[in-house]
C-alpha cells in the first residue's frame, strides 16, 4: 500500500471514530459521563466501544482478533464490570456471523491459553458482555451525525453543516488530545454548550474526508457561503504566532498589500467598503517593519499610532474618502482616494485594547497556537483556519 493510501485510510479511521464519538455523546443522557480514549475509543456508562473502519477489507474472523483480545484482557482484569461493543465496518457489510464459543476459540488460537480465562468465563463474556455492531459506512454515519445535531441543537441542516458539525469535530479532537482521563471526559450537556457557537473551524483532514480535492477551494467556498468576505463587512485577519513566526516581514507586507489591492482598490472599490484589518502575533519591531514596508510601497494604512501612543478611537474611524467622478464630473459610488486602504497592528496592541476596538463582522484566525486562548469578538463570525501552510494559500483562500 502506498504512503498516500495508507494516510488516507488512517485519516478515514480517525474521522469515523470521531463521528461515532459525537453520536454517542449526543445520544447519551444529559448528565451521563462519556470518556474518550480511555478503556476503549468511547466509554459510555459501563459500555466500552471500539471503532474499526475497514472499507477496503472484507470481513473475516481473524480481522477482529486484536480488538477481541483487548476486550478479554480488560474483562479478565476488571472482573466483568463492563460491556464491550465492537463497532466495525467492512467492505462487505452483513457478512458477519454471530460468534459462538467454538468460533471464539478459533479466533483466539494460541492466545486463548495466555488469557487464563476458563471456558465458563469465555461463554459468559459472549453471553452478557460482548456485542458486535455491523456499522454503516463513513458517509451514512456522517448523515446520522448531522441529523442528530439538528435534533439536539434544534437547528436547520445548513447550520449543522456550516457550524455545529465542524465545532463538534473540533471539540472531540480537543478532548481526545488531553493527557488525563478526567480531561477526556464530557457530558452531553457540556459538549452541547461547547459547540453551541456560530464559528467555523477548518482542518485539512476534514476537507479531505468531505471529498474536497483542494483544501483552499473548500475553505474559500465555505467563506463565500457564509458571506464572510463581503466588502462592507468589517473583516479582521489574525495571524497567530505559530503561523507567522517563520515568515519574513517582507512576505507579510506583500500579503497585506494583496489584501489592500483586492478589497480596497482605488477606482473600483465602492464607497461603503471597509478596509481589511490584519493583526499579527509578532514582536513590535517586526510589526513596525511590515508597516514601514507598506508605506514605502505607497499603501496608506491605519495603525492607530501603534508604537507611539495607540488611539483606539482613531483606529476605529472609517477612512476618509473621495468619490470617483464620471465623465460628466458627477460623483459615482466608487472611491478615487482614501486616507487608508488597510489597517495593520500587532496582537499585543489588539489584546490590550480589544474592548475599545469596534467588533468586526468577520474574524479569521490563521494558525493553531496562541490564538486558541484568544477571546474572539463576541458578535463576530469566527473562522479558525488551522492548517493553512503558507501565506500564499491564505491569500488564495481570501481572494475574491
User: Is the pLDDT assigned to residue 168 strictly greater than 70?
Assistant: yes
Question: d(Cα 288, Cα 332) in Å, to the nearest integer?
Answer: 35
Residue 211 is assigned to a structural domain of this protein: no
Residues pairing with 85 in the sheet = 49, 131
pLDDT at 96: 80
Nearest 5°: the CA angle 350, 172, 17 is 145
Are 100 and 119 a contacting pair, CB within 8 Å? no
- Higher-pLDDT residue of 83 and 210 is 83
Same domain, residue pair 227 and 127? no
Buried b (16+ CB within 10 A) or exposed e, 288-325: bbbbebbeeeebbbbbbebeeebeeeebeeebebeebe
How does DSSP assign 20-70, residue by residue? HHHHHHHHS-TT-EEEESSSSSEEETTEEEEEEEETTS---GGGGHHHHHH
Count other C-beta atoms under 10 Å from residue 362's C-beta: 22
Q: Which three cell numbers stand for residue 183?
A: 480531561
Mean pLDDT to the nearest integer, 5-33: 86
Same domain, residue pair 236 and 362? yes
Q: What is the CATH number of the domain that holds 359?
A: 3.40.309
- pLDDT digit string, tens, across residues 21-70: 999 999 999 999 999 999 999 999 999 999 999 988 999 888 999 999 99
Residue 397 is assigned to a structural domain of this protein: no
- pLDDT digit string, tens, across residues 309-346: 999 999 999 999 999 998 888 999 999 999 999 999 99
Question: d(Cα 167, Cα 146) in Å, to the nearest integer?
Answer: 12
Confidence of residue 376 (pLDDT cuts 50, 70, 90): confident
What residues make up the domain containing 239?
220-388
Confidence of residue 212 (pLDDT cuts 50, 70, 90): very low
**Domain final residue, candidates 95, 119, 138:** 138
How does DSSP assign 141-167, residue by residue? HHHHHHHHHHHHHT--HHHIIIIIHHH
Residue 188 is assigned to a structural domain of this protein: no
**Domain final residue, candidates 90, 107, 138:** 138
Domain tally for the chain?
2
Count other C-beta atoms under 10 Å from residue 247's C-beta: 17
Residue 205 is assigned to a structural domain of this protein: no
Q: Which residue has the cell 476596538?
A: 357
Same domain, residue pair 244 and 379? yes
Question: d(Cα 291, Cα 239) in Å, to the nearest integer?
Answer: 15
Residue 398 is assigned to a structural domain of this protein: no
Same domain, residue pair 246 and 376? yes
Same domain, residue pair 265 and 381? yes
Mean pLDDT over all residues of the chain? 89
The length of the chain in residues reads 400
Q: Which residue has the cell 476488571?
A: 78
Residue 73 is assigned to a structural domain of this protein: yes
| pLDDT > 70 in the chain, percent | 91
Same domain, residue pair 237 and 348? yes
Same domain, residue pair 240 and 380? yes
Residue 101 is assigned to a structural domain of this protein: yes
Same domain, residue pair 124 and 256? no
**Domain final residue, candidates 138, 164, 196:** 138
Residue 79 is assigned to a structural domain of this protein: yes
Same domain, residue pair 128 and 238? no
Same domain, residue pair 128 and 244? no
What are the CA-CA distances from residue 208 to residues 14, 22, 205, 398 (Å)? Answer: 12, 19, 5, 20
User: What value does the CA radius of gyration of the chain take, rounded to a whole number of Å?
Assistant: 27
- pLDDT digit string, tens, across residues 237-291: 999 988 888 899 999 999 999 999 999 999 999 999 999 999 999 999 999 999 9
Same domain, residue pair 248 and 120? no
User: Is the pLDDT assigned to residue 12 strictly greater than 60?
Assistant: yes
Amino acid at each position: 500500500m502506498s504512503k498516500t493510501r495508507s494516510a488516507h485510510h488512517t485519516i478515514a479511521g480517525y474521522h469515523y471514530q470521531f463521528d461515532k464519538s459525537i453520536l454517542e455523546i449526543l445520544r447519551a443522557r444529559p448528565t451521563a459521563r462519556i470518556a474518550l480514549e480511555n478503556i476503549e475509543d468511547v466509554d459510555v456508562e459501563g459500555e466500552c466501544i471500539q471503532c474499526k473502519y475497514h472499507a477496503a477489507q472484507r470481513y473475516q474472523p481473524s480481522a477482529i482478533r486484536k480488538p477481541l483480545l483487548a476486550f478479554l484482557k480488560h474483562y479478565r482484569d476488571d472482573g466483568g464490570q463492563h460491556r464491550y461493543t465492537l463497532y466495525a465496518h467492512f467492505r462487505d457489510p452483513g457478512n458477519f456471523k454471530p460468534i459462538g464459543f467454538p468460533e471464539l476459540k478459533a479466533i483466539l488460537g494460541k492466545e486463548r491459553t495466555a488469557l487464563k480465562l476458563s471456558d465458563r468465563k469465555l461463554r459468559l463474556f459472549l453471553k452478557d458482555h460482548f456485542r458486535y455492531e455491523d456499522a454503516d459506512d463513513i458517509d451514512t454515519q456522517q448523515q446520522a451525525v448531522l441529523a442528530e445535531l439538528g435534533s439536539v441543537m434544534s437547528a436547520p441542516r445548513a447550520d449543522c453543516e456550516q457550524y455545529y458539525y465542524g465545532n463538534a469535530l473540533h471539540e472531540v479532537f480537543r478532548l481526545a488530545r488531553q493527557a488525563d482521563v478526567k480531561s477526556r471526559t464530557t457530558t452531553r450537556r457540556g459538549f452541547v454548550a461547547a459547540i453551541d457557537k456560530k464559528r467555523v473551524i477548518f482542518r485539512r483532514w476534514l476537507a479531505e474526508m468531505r471529498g474536497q480535492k483542494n483544501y483552499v477551494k473548500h475553505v474559500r467556498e465555505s467563506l463565500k457561503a457564509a458571506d464572510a468576505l463581503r466588502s462592507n463587512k468589517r473583516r479582521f485577519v489574525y495571524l497567530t504566532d505559530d503561523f507567522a513566526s517563520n515568515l519574513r516581514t517582507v512576505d507579510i507586507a506583500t500579503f497585506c498589500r494583496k489584501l489592500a489591492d483586492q478589497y480596497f482598490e482605488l477606482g473600483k472599490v465602492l464607497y461603503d467598503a471597509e478596509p481589511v484589518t490584519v493583526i499579527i502575533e509578532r514582536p513590535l519591531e517586526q510589526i513596525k517593519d511590515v508597516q514601514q514596508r507598506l508605506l514605502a510601497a505607497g499603501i496608506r494604512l491605519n495603525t492607530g499610532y501603534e508604537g507611539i501612543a495607540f488611539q483606539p478611537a482613531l483606529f476605529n474611524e472609517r477612512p476618509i474618502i473621495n468619490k470617483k467622478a464620471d465623465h460628466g464630473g458627477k460623483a459615482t459610488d466608487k472611491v478615487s482616494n482614501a486616507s487608508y486602504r488597510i489597517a495593520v497592528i500587532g496582537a499585543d496592541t489588539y489584546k490590550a485594547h480589544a474592548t475599545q476596538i469596534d467588533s468586526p463582522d468577520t474574524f479569521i484566525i490563521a494558525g493553531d497556537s496562541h490564538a486558541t486562548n484568544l477571546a474572539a469578538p463576541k458578535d463576530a463570525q469566527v473562522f479558525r483556519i488551522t492548517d493553512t501552510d503558507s501565506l500564499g494559500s491564505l491569500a488564495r483562500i481570501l481572494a475574491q
